[in-house]
Structure 1
Amino acid sequence: MSKTNRTDTPDELARSVGVTDAVVIGLGSMIGAGIFAALAPAARAAGSGLLLGLAIAAVVAYCNATSSARLAARYPASGGTYVYGRERLGEFWGYVAGWCFVVGKTASCAAMALTVGAYAWPEHTTAVAVAAVVALTGVNYRGIQKSALLTRVIVSIVLAVLAAAVVAAFTSETADVARLEFGSDITVSGVMQAAGLLFFAFAGYARIATLGEEVRDPARTIPRAIPLALAIALLVYAVVVAAALTVLGPRGLSEASAPLSGMVRAAGAGWLEPVVRVGAVVAALGSLLALILGVSRTTLAMARDRHLPHTLAAVHPRFAVPHRAEIAVGVIVAVAAATADIRVAIGFSSFGVLLYYAVANASAWTLTASEGRPARAIPVIGLLGCLTLAFTLPLTSVLAGAGVVAIGAAIYTVRRKFSTGSPGRGRGRREPC
């Protein structure tokens, strides 16, 4: 729909995001989550096999990214895998993907908000976390271009801080390259569990796909932006993990409550610690900003199909954003941040998001050659990898995640049974390009 044909109450979002902004939004969601939240728990699981766990997570993420990019180019609508599963596998699988994304990423939002509080003002973590959610919900409400501009600034600051910390670590007298070697503490289950936790760090590229309705020329932009964002994030992660291991070793890294602060302190660069803390806050804010953006767009898509209250499908007439969905997501995340534990939130989020991408890979398998399907091995590896990593996460995460997915499936079944017709398939549907 062109601007000249817009009504005062538009039901479509403005296409204003190019390749650079799409890559930045993806990076903003990934960088903070992996380095400042998931690194220590993953080190506890994998020991000296941490880099191997990172490599496995990266392979699965690459398959997911490729499948998502091909599907997003075909279906450039808000909602990501919710839309792909619905169109390729059927309404139920689309619903399951959307449900897993919304609940999993709501947990991610809470984890990032708590990370902001823990680094910014440890004595008042919860209050700072809730304030951060309220502030960033307001930024998103004003329009996606405001969000993209702020995310670009955040990513620049975080990369500069990480670069300074890495240089300090590798030039330190305490650095020991031998610590990068594999040791006897490695187990298959530990490495796989670490890969599942580290996958939490790579899931940010989903934000690019879920913003499909706001991307210019999505058939070209999305397939370029997703792999590029993923490659940059992987390079950053690998360098930072290697630096942390050379200074702290696997045990020191696993025991660190703030791994990068501990890294620069052990490297004899204590003056950098306040800078790293600021970088952690900024990185977590960037992740939280992009996460709220993505969850609200999937909420919009599900509301259009009446799997969620249809009032959440409203688009603001001035800012062209799903303002009611953004407010609802902001309120739920604020409550979660006030009550959740960050370690539980990370595992729960990883479980939900891995199932979300399992549906994405299954959907990509159904693409034909004329629809731009990826090499057949990619969705197969992605699907098997997602399921394997999901069920090797800590048992509490698996049980909680499976329980929430079962509740979602039960809600869907009850609604289908007692509704007078279809719950809205096709309402608000966007035809593929």
Structure 2
Amino acid sequence: MNNTIPLARKLGLADAIAIGLASMIGAGVFAVFAPTAAIAGSGLLIGLLIAGCVAYLNATSSAQLAAQYPVSGGAYTYGREQLGEWPGFVAGWSFVVGKTASCAAMSLTFAAYVAPSGWEKPVAIAAVLLLTGINYFGVTRTATVAKVIVVVVLLVLALVVVAASASGGTGAADLLGGGGGDGQPAWYAVLQSAGLLFFAFAGYARIATMGEEVRSPERTIPRAIALSLGLAFVIYAVLAVVVLGALGPERLAESTAPLAEAAGQSGWEWTGPIVRIGASAAALGALLALIAGVSRTGLAMARNDDLPRWFAAVHSRYRVPHRAELALAAIVSALILVTDLRGAIGFSSFGVLLYYLIANIAAYRQQPEHRRFPRPLQIVGAIGCLLLVATLPLQSVAGGVIVLGAGVVYRVIRVKLRTP
């Protein structure tokens, strides 16, 4: 078990798509509609379109970079190679801290659906430990479990669409004219909802961060990113329209389980437990992919001494970054105990938008022989990231800036310590 062993290339196209879909569907489908409806009312549909467009632009940059650099680390590696050590560090640090918070949020989401009252945190920690164990014994097990979870969640979401559509509810004209708590949503509210909804699409980054484990990465990674993102956008768009139509903006904003409530509008009370199973499976799928993605980025950073070198070890038998995974499990378990992470979505969006900002700039700097998409897409993508960051809730931005500053101080100290 040492840091010279490479990861094993065992993932095919279907595996990569399953991991990306598990990340995107689980990351937000049961969580983002209520808070964004509270901000923008039915304007969340416009916010969803904006978030999807920014995600697409970022995806073109990620796909182009992943084809040139098919190794672990995602935008951390791309930033280092194209822009230098500091931009790479900022990308990697932003991803690790944002997605570590997301790990805790997803485990708590799972526990909220399945745990008896008062047992949420122990159950959340148990979920983290279980999925860390699955990841520990090899990436093919991760992909297999992700496929099963994606199938279960898609079946449940199809049930939600059918049941909610059968209930009637708000008409399309009312949807387009509906507002939030203060009437028609302002442009700022719509952009803020887009920033939060971007959280739901960020899961395709897991495909890029696992680039060292994908077969034929130059071809597989770009295709997997495009297909998983396209499927996720269609799923979110259909659900947003159906759930808004069933509940209306005001009721959606106040709901704690909007998909279950929307399905129950039809009078099909039996759908409630099934939707809860789907929600718990989706949260587990997101958590599984998050653990894999964060640990791989941690591995890449440790290889370059941006995190302690101890985390760069790869298990000689299972070919996974086992120390990074175990450390992540310990940190997430501690977070679960000390916080409820109510601002986790905004905080995660802050970190991931900075991550993609650097990815867009790195893609802009690529040489012509490595280009797959025109440079203007990267310019618009970078502007979109900055715009969405600027409109996130103030507490999310403040928390993100503080944690980013802590990372910068940490690296300054490490650089000085290793300088002769």
Scaled by the length of structure 1, the TM-score of the pair is 0.93
Deviations 1:334-373 (A, max 9, x none): 1112222243111111101110110000100001221124
Rounded Cα–Cα distance in structure 2 between residues aligned with 1:303 and 1:376: 31
- Tell me, in whole angstroms, the C-alpha distance in 1 between the residues paired with 2:193 and 2:338: 25
Q: Is the 8 A contact 1:110 1:340 kept in 2?
A: no
2:237 maps to what in 1?
238
User: Which residue of the partner structure matches residue 176 of structure 2?
Assistant: 181
Which residue of structure 1 lines up, in the alignment, with residue 379 of structure 2?
380
Pairwise CA RMSD of aligned residues? Answer: 1.4
Alpha-carbon contact 2:3-2:303 (below 8 Å) kept:
no
* Aligned counterpart, 2:125: 130
Cα distance in 1, alignment partners of residues 42 and 32 from structure 2: 16
Aligned pairs for 1:159-174 (under 5 A) are 159-174=154-169
Partner Cα distance (1:121, 1:46) in 2: 31
Answer yes or no: is the 8 Å Cα contact 1:53–1:191 preserved in 2. Answer: yes
What is the correspondence of 1:345-360 to structure 2 with a 5 Å cutoff?
345-360=344-359
Q: Which residue of 2 aligns with 1:425?
A: none
Q: Pick the aligned partner of 2:142 from 138, 143, 147.
A: 147
Structure 2: runs of 5 or more not aligned: none
Alpha-carbon contact 1:47-1:251 (below 8 Å) kept: yes
**Equivalent pair of 1:178/1:246 in contact (CA under 8 Å):** no
* Secondary structure of 1:379 counterpart: helix
Q: Distance in 1 between matches of 2:55 and 2:313?
A: 32
How far 1:9 moved relative to its partner? 7.7
The letter for the 1-side match of 2:110 is V
Q: Which amino acid aligns with 1:379?
A: Q
Task: Report if aligned partners of 2:2, 2:312 keep a CA contact under 8 Å in 1.
Answer: no
Residues 365 and 373 in structure 1, CA contact (< 8 A), matched pair in contact too: no
**Contact 2:3 / 2:312 at 8 angstroms: preserved in 1?**
no
The 8 Å contact of residues 157 and 282 in structure 1, kept in 2 or not, is answered as: yes
Partner of 1:341, secondary structure, is coil
1:282-297 equivalence runs, <5 A: 282-297=281-296
Equivalent residues of 1:367, 1:373 under 8 A apart: no
Counterpart of 2:248 in structure 1 is 249
Residue 158 of structure 1: aligned partner: 153
Question: Structure 2 matches for 1:266-281, cutoff 5 A?
Answer: 266-281=265-280
Preserved contact between residue 364 and residue 374 of structure 1 (Cα < 8 Å): no
Task: Report how far residue 189 of structure 1 moved.
Answer: 1.0
Aligned mates of 2:216, 2:69 — CA distance in 1: 12
- Select 1:56's aligned residue among 50, 74, 83: 50
* Secondary structure at 2:31 match in 1: helix
Q: Which residue number in structure 1 is paired with residue 76 of structure 2?
A: 82
1:92 aligned to 2:91?
A: no
Q: Shift of residue 175 of structure 1?
A: 4.9
Change (3 A) 1:342 1:242: farther
> What aligned pairs does 1:302-381 form with structure 2 within 5 A after superposition?
302-381=301-380
Counting only pairs closer than 5 Å after superposition, residues 222-237 of structure 1 correspond to structure 2 as 222-237=221-236
Q: Compute the displacement of 1:61 (Å).
A: 0.3
Whether the aligned pair in 1 keeps the contact of 2:164 and 2:264 (CA below 8 Å) is no
Aligned partner of 1:104 among 98, 101, 106: 98
> What is the number of residues matched between the two proteins?
415
SS in 2 for 1:69: helix
CA positional deviation for 1:410: 1.6
Q: SS of 1:163's equivalent?
A: helix
Describe how 1:255-270 pairs up with structure 2 within 5 A. Answer: 255-270=254-269
State how far apart, in whole Å, the 1-side matches of 2:315 and 2:360 are.
Answer: 33
Q: Could you say if the C-alpha distance between residues 96 and 170 of structure 1 is closer, same or farther in structure 2, counting changes exceeding 3 Å?
A: same
Name which of structure 1's ranges 341-350 and 104-113 shifts more when overlaid on structure 2: 341-350
Q: Between the two proteins, what is the percent identity of the paired residues?
A: 55
Structure 2 residue matching 1:370: 3-state secondary structure? helix
Contact 2:2 2:313 in 1 (8 A): no
Q: Please report how far the alpha carbon of residue 182 of structure 1 lies from its aligned counterpart in structure 2 after TM superposition.
A: 2.9
| Aligned equivalents of 2:271, 2:249: Cα separation in 1 | 22
C-alpha separation in 2, matches of 1:129 and 1:19: 31
C-alpha separation in 1, matches of 2:113 and 2:283: 9
Aligned twin of 2:115: 121
SS in 2 for 1:268: coil
- Tell whether the 8 Å contact from 1:179 to 1:250 is kept in structure 2 after alignment: no
Q: Conserved in 1, the CA contact under 8 Å of 2:2 and 2:314?
A: no
Cα deviation 1:224-245 (Å, max 9, x = unaligned): 1101000000000000011001
1:24 aligns with 2:18: yes
1:122, distance to aligned residue in structure 2 (A): 5.3
Asked if 1 retains the 8 angstrom alpha-carbon contact of 2:263 and 2:272, the reply is yes
The unaligned stretches of length 5 or more in structure 1 are 1-6, 422-433
3-state DSSP of counterpart to 2:167 = coil
Find the aligned partners of 1:35 and 1:295 in 2 and give their Cα distance. 21
Task: Give distance in 1, aligned partners of 2:392 and 2:81.
Answer: 30
Q: Which amino acid aligns with 2:368?
A: A
* Kept in 2: contact 1:169–1:243 (CA 8 A): yes
After superposition, the C-alpha distances for 1:243-278 in whole angstroms (9 at most, x for unaligned) are 001110111111101111111122322210110001
Q: Could you tell me whether the CA contact under 8 Å between 1:139 and 1:146 is conserved in 2?
A: yes
Distance 1:86 1:390 in 2: 22
User: Where does residue 189 of structure 2 map in the other structure?
Assistant: 190
1:34 positional shift: 1.7
2: CA distance between counterparts of 1:211 and 1:93? 20
Letter of the structure 2 residue corresponding to residue 13 of structure 1:
L
- 2:14 paired with 1:14: no
Distance apart, 1:180 and its partner CA? 2.1
Give the Å deviation of 1:82.
Answer: 0.4
**Displacement of 1:8:** 8.8
Displacement of 1:292 in angstroms is: 0.4
One-letter amino acid of the counterpart of residue 161, structure 1? V
Runs of 4+ in 1 over 4 A off after TM superposition: 7-10
Partner of 1:426: none
Distance 2:386 2:332 in 1: 26
Asked if the contact 1:315–1:323 (Cα under 8 Å) also holds between the matched residues in 2, the reply is yes
> Quick one: which amino acid aligns to residue 61 of structure 1?
A
